[in-house]
Structure 1
Amino acid sequence: MLFSPNSSCFGCVFLPLLHLLLLSATAVFCGSIVRYLPGFDGELPFKLETGYVRVDEIEIFYYFIESERNPRIDPIMLWYSGGPGCSALNGLIYEIGPLAFNITAYYGGLPSLEYYPYSWTKTASILFADVPVGTGFSYTTDPSSWTTSDTKTAQQTYIFLKKWLIDHPQFLQVQLFVGADSYSGITAPMVVQHILDANNDGDTPRLNLKGYIVGCPRTDAGINENSKINFLHRMGFISDELYESAKESCGGQYYEADFYTPQCTEDVKLIEKGTHDLDKNNILDPKCTWASPQIDGDTKRRSLEENPGNFLLSPPIIPDFWCHNFNYSLSYIWANDVRVQKALHVREVCD
């Protein structure tokens, strides 16, 4: 299922997991080198490792790409995406990784991949993690472990990172950074705090934390939502008159405007109506429907009950003209291909 949450800067890639009943429930760590990927011509020009790390009762899937310069001394960065629930593939393919889909040459079938020469892996090793549980290829066989929260996600992400570094001790001495985007702007600082607290308490091994980075982060709901009105005005999408009226009637607090004056509610509705056709994640892009359209919760639940496989595994609709959202459809197609899952060492599925 593909969709863009309101708090995201980027499209969000959700990889279906309802069909994944995985065979191993006892592994603590399992990693494999990937030299070839379906859709990529020839051997990968960088070192890719994929695998699972067990944390509590969940198995966290990861993609690790070594620095293409000097992994022995270059920094290492943990990176995970927002949503919550966006696969780490989102960051690897569309944001900072060394692979990209060949969008212009796609006419159906398995999408082709090409080397992206401006990746962050030119100077850093990056550990992409599918967190929280249920994201990408991460899973649990314990029904109670599907319940998660921001604090639980942060704690499990920290434990995942520490276990992975213990299993890869050659990276314990290099500089460590934590990176995340979108909704994970909430949890990334919490992961960093876990690292700092453990270091201050004398836990070993000590993680060589040097900093963290958040891209287009979700922070506080009020700050995030209120800033959108200011941005739209400064970009010329809201008239001075309407902006000043809303500013006065809402007192600068546009988030949950129904709790304020009737004039505030009316002003916010006018702003929403006037900017409805904008792609607010990128105002220069056309606004298009998603390959897997968002639907209301009742319809979604009803559809899952009646046709669980069809809803999650139906191929995306290829649009007649390009729009940014179409790029993310290719992830959906590529990651759900059995050949791809085998190459990535995703654990076997059962019916």
Structure 2
Amino acid sequence: MNDLISKLPGQPDVNFRQFTGYIDVDDGAAGVSFFYYFVEAENDAMNQPLTVWLTGGPGCSSVGDAFSSVGPFITTKNARGLDRNLFSWNKVSNLLFIDSPIGSGWSYSNADGPYKNGDDSTKKLLVSFMQKWYEKYPNFKSKDLYVAGSSYAGHFVPNLASALLDDNKQSKELKFNVKGIALGNPLLRSKLEILARFDFFHARGQVDNVVYEQVKKECNTLDESNYFSKYETNWTNPCSLILEDNHLFPNLFDVIRDPCDGNLTDLSLGKELTKVSQGVDMCTFLRPDFYFNIPEVQRAFHGNRTNLPYPWMGCFMHKFLYNADDKNRDMLPVLKCLLQQSIRITIFSGDVDGLVPAVGTLKHLYKLAEEMNIKSTKEEAWSQENKEGGKKYSFGDLLTFFTVIGANHHVAFSKPSEALYLFTDFTVNRMH
């Protein structure tokens, strides 16, 4: 109860409880502590599942992401208060947001020097976090557990779910009741995502035929079949030169909307950030960077116990480092392992995301289905409340992929109603 939040500054009244605090995940010399934000379900929390949300980057704050995607609140236009998120996932689940890896949000280590993170170390620390979190919240041990996230969480989420299942095999006491994972625009095979951008932009007429054919010719040393070869496949020099031509792909995060036209200075002067482009508030991501630096917010949130000598940022905090090789890891073997243990996987990708295009993700999943001899794949349209939502691809009984019309790299931010619908109907409800 020491972690209970009475009320956040500028927060509307709600009928559910919120908790924040630190979990010391490494008792050794490094002294690693992860910050978390736990939100009970709106109704009948003790009979609802628990969903862990991990955001990507790597290096972005899952707790900060809660205030611009699936959490119960969205910052107001002047970033000094909060509005209810009408499409919060706590309508159907308890939500646990964890700042990881080390250096994300308010998570930290006592070790000197930069925070050296990687997939394996992050997975190990997250398992330790979950074990200790359940000690603080034992009533949730028996609840169905889902793990979800976006972008580089395509690594974090499957790795954590797999590690929790492995821990079950060794533990005589606590069992993690993992039921499914949900991934938005996940990074699964980084180098192939880069090639998929050329497919995506060529189909949109934004990469001409000459450049496209050059890529096909010069970058053909890497493909779906040899990606997870034990021998690392490198780009050729001509291929690298093409891929490094950054001006080819402006606004990868969202290829149809104008970005936010304001900044933190505007907010500090009392201005409102109100950039709405094609129905999406494009400044939603920026405003938490102001809100979480308000001293009253930090006190109410039990955050910043180390008194950071620099501002809180939603992404890429001071001293943050991440293993470059891990970013190129192939995540299909981990997804395969989860499916073999009957873990449901729901993946959804925005069709205007140029960073991790849906066309690439779909190729990866066809490859995965081929590896597992899953033959029953089908494609059909899906809709929500009689409105066309996108395409649905079913791979057997456990793996489903959706495209979301008009959604960018963060589906829960740009199309929150659709994200809640997909999570509810194809992750939670299918397991009950």
User: TM-score of the superposition, structure 2-length normalised?
Assistant: 0.60
Could you say which residue in structure 2 is the equivalent of 1:197? 166
8 Å contact kept, 1:100–1:114: yes
> Which residue is 2:193 aligned to?
224
Compute the displacement of 1:81 (Å).
1.2
Task: Give the match for residue 69 of structure 1.
Answer: 43
> Residues 174 and 145 of structure 1: is their aligned pair in 2 closer, same or farther, counting only changes over 3 Å?
farther
User: Over residues 140-186 of structure 1, what are the superposed CA-to-partner deviations in whole Å (9 max), with x where a residue is unaligned?
Assistant: 22327933322111110111012111221111111001112212221
Offset at residue 50 of structure 1 (A)? 0.7
**CA apart distance, 1:76:** 0.3
SS at match of 1:138: coil
Whether 1:149 and 2:118 are equivalent positions in the alignment is: yes
The match for 1:322 is: 275
Give the Cα separation in 1 of the matches to 2:273 and 2:40.
38
1:243-266 deviation per Cα after TM superposition (whole angstroms, max 9, x unaligned): 2343234327599x994364x466
CA distance in 2, matches of 1:91, 1:54: 22
| 1:44 aligned onto 2:44 | no
Query: TM-score under structure 1 normalisation?
Result: 0.73
CA pair 142-316 structure 1, distance change in 2 beyond 3 A: farther
Paired AA for residue 89 in structure 1: V
In the TM superposition, residue 241 of structure 1 has moved relative to its aligned partner by: 4.2
Counterpart of 2:103 in 1: which secondary structure? coil
1:335 aligns with 2:292: yes
- Give the partner amino acid of 2:275: W
The separation in 2 between residues aligned to 1:168 and 1:138, in whole angstroms, is 20
Aligned length: 291
Q: For CA contacts below 8 A with separation 6 or more, give which structure has more relative contact order.
A: 1
Cα distance in 2, alignment partners of residues 320 and 35 from structure 1: 28
Alignment of 1:241-252 (within 5 A): 241-251=210-220
* Corresponding position of 2:61: 87
Deviation at 1:267, TM superposition (A): 5.2
Q: Verify the 8 A CA contact 2:261 2:275 in the aligned structure 1.
A: no
- The 3-state SS of whatever aligns with 2:45 is coil
The secondary structure found in structure 2 opposite 1:127 is strand
Q: How far apart, in 2, do the equivalents of 1:194 and 1:68 lie?
A: 29
SS in 1 for 2:146: strand
Match of residue 4 from structure 2: 33
Matched letter for residue 219 of structure 1 = L
Whole-Å separation in 2 of the counterparts to 1:54 and 1:145: 19
- List structure 1 segments (4+ residues) > 4 angstroms apart after TM superposition: 252-255, 264-270, 287-292, 314-321, 347-351
Residues 259/207 of structure 1: CA separation in 2 closer, same or farther (3 Å cut): closer
Give how far 1:207 is off. Answer: 1.1
Q: 2:255 aligns with which of 283, 288, 306?
A: 283
32, 37, 50: which is aligned to 1:58?
32
Higher mean alpha-carbon deviation, 236-245 vs 334-343, is at 236-245
Runs of at least 5 residues in structure 1 that lack an aligned partner in the other structure: 1-29, 293-313
% same residue? 26
Query: Does the aligned pair in 1 maintain the 2:260–2:275 contact within 8 Å?
Result: no
Q: Give the Cα separation in 2 of the matches to 1:282 and 1:83.
A: 16
Aligned equivalents of 2:291 and 2:171: distance in 1? 44
Give the secondary structure class of the aligned counterpart of 1:154: helix
Is there any run of 5+ residues in structure 2 with no aligned partner, and where? 228-232, 310-432
